Structure formats: C-alpha cells, structure tokens
C-alpha cells in the first residue's frame, strides 16, 4: 500500500541554521505532495504543496521539490527562526480527488536562540 517515511525527530537547531527534513513515499502513480505544520496547541496547517514532478512548493522561506525519480519531497529552509519551532508532517495524496492524505509520523523541530 501507499506509505510515507519521514525523518524522525526531534530536531534541535540554533537560530539561522539550515534545515532539511527528509520525506520519501511510495505510491501508485504520481500523487500531489504536501507539507503541513502544527504549532503548539493548534491544528495542522498547510505549509506548501507540489502537484507534479519537478514542481517546487514554497512558503515562509520553506521549500520542497517534487522528485519523481527518488520519490522524495524533502523540506528545506536556509535560515530557521525560533518561530519555526513546530511539528512538520509530510503527506502525499493517495489519488486525486477527495481521498485521504497519508501523513508521516511528524518531525518535531525546536529552534533555540
């Protein structure tokens, strides 16, 4: 079946450090890919998405590129801030249309000043 493997945390970085959170998936076809972020005490929010191969999703300084060859969608940010401390979830869509996303286990990021 479809699944997603996400880098395990927790990840602790100093402010302005570079961030990479790895995500690989298995799926039939070419699903849309999403990253969600969950700040403490809140629900999940869509961070960015990519819908086809080589697309790059970006938002708030975060980027992720849809790599069909390696079935990966790694999340990157060049300079993290304390306010980026949250849990990040990788989520491929199994099929187009209204079917559930498959969420990774989440990676907790802590950024210290």
Partner 1 sequence: DAGVIQSPRHEVTEMGQEVTLRCKPISGHNSLFWYRQTMMRGLELLIYFNNNVPIDDSGMPEDRFSAKMPNASFSTLKIQPSEPRDSAVYFCASSFQSGEQYFGPGTRLTVT
Contact positions toward partner 1, by CB under 8 A?
31-32, 34, 36, 42-46, 49, 89, 93, 96-101, 103, 105-106
Question: With 0-12 CB in 10 A as exposed, 13-18 as middle and 19+ as buried, what is 34?
Answer: buried
| Minimum gap (Å) between residue 17 Cβ and partner 1 | 26
What are residue 53's phi and psi, to 5 degrees?
-55, 135
Run of H or E including 65: strand 62-65
| Minimum gap (Å) between residue 78 Cβ and partner 1 | 25
| Minimum gap (Å) between residue 103 Cβ and partner 1 | 5
Q: Which is nearer to partner 1, 16 or 56 (CB)?
A: 56
Q: Which is nearer to partner 1, 17 or 51 (CB)?
A: 51
Give the closest residue to 73 by CA, choosing from 1, 5, 2.
5
């Amino acid at each position: 079946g479809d699944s997603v493997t996400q880098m395990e945390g927790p990840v602790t970085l100093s402010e302005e450090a570079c961030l990479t959170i790895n995500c690989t998936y298995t799926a039939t076809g070419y699903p849309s890919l999403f990253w969600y972020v969950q700040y403490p005490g809140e629900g999940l929010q869509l961070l960015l998405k990519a819908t086809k191969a080589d697309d790059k999703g970006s938002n708030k300084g975060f980027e992720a590129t849809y790599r069909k060859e390696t079935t990966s969608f790694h999340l990157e940010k060049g300079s993290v801030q304390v306010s980026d401390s949250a849990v990040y979830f990788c989520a491929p869509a199994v099929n187009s249309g209204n079917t559930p996303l498959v969420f990774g286990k989440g990676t907790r990021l802590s950024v210290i000043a």
